[in-house]
Structure 1
Amino acid sequence: MLASAIVAEVVATSALRVSNGFTRLVPSLIVLVGYGLSFYLLSLTLRVLPIALVYAVWSGAGIVLIATVAAVLFKQVPDVPALIGMSLIISGVVVLNLFSRVKA
């Protein structure tokens, strides 16, 4: 469910880019449905996983995936500092997953 929440958020964010400030109907509807679905699925994962872990994975993976989508679809290629920052985010999520003792 967490992976689906991440995908829904990335789709919604991508549609937000092409909604042109919510002036285009179809992309705007995709934004609303995508974020709604993402938050709903995110809430379901919180029944069994700790919020710090869920949010770290959701936001970290979302950042990296949306940067990838932006590079491929919108030709917004991240520079070296952005890549370093994303590497640090991924490292933080890995450390949290491997070494944190937070319980649900």
Structure 2
Amino acid sequence: MKNWLFLGVAIVAEVVATSSLKGSEGFTRFWPSLVVVAGYAISFYFLSLTLRAIPIGIAYAIWSGLGIVLISLAGWLLFGQKIDAASALGMALIILGVLVINLFSRMSVH
């Protein structure tokens, strides 16, 4: 169970870091740049802990898939970016793909 918690921390840290990239203005602003570097460091550290018990294909599918969806939501909430029908459908398919891998794949760690 703690490995899934580690993966959750990795995902949240990656989303915070990626969201802060916009505010860093090309790494010209110190504090947002520091959040980016720290966020990615935390994310990769916890992702590496996750890989002790969860297969890399499963962990990366969840990490990247949920990261894409959460970054898109952060863009919508924080930066006023629009989510149209095609992007909403794409995100739904990403979530569905992660669920299929976790529920039906033999490479999962159930």
Q: Common fold, TM-score beyond 0.5? A: yes
Superposition TM-score tier, normalisation by shorter sequence: over 0.9
Q: Which residue of 1 aligns with 2:3?
A: none
**Structure 1 residue aligned with 2:72, among 67, 71, 74?**
67
Report Cα offsets for 1:38-93 as digits up to 9, x if no partner: 00100000000000000000011111111111101100021111111101100100
Cα deviation code 1:8-42 (max 9, x no counterpart): 00000010011000000000010000001100100
Give me the TM-score of the superposition, normalised by structure 2: 0.92
8 Å Cα contact 2:13-2:39 kept in structure 1: yes
TM-score of the two chains, using structure 1 as the length reference:
0.97
Runs of 4+ in structure 1 deviating by more than 6 angstroms, as ranges, are none
Deviation at 1:103, TM superposition (A): 5.4
- Matched with 1:92 is 97
Number of residue pairs aligned between Structure 1 and Structure 2: 104
Gaps of 5+ in 1: none
Q: Counterpart of 2:91 in 1: which secondary structure?
A: helix
**Superposition CA RMSD, Å:** 1.0
Identity across matched positions, percent: 59
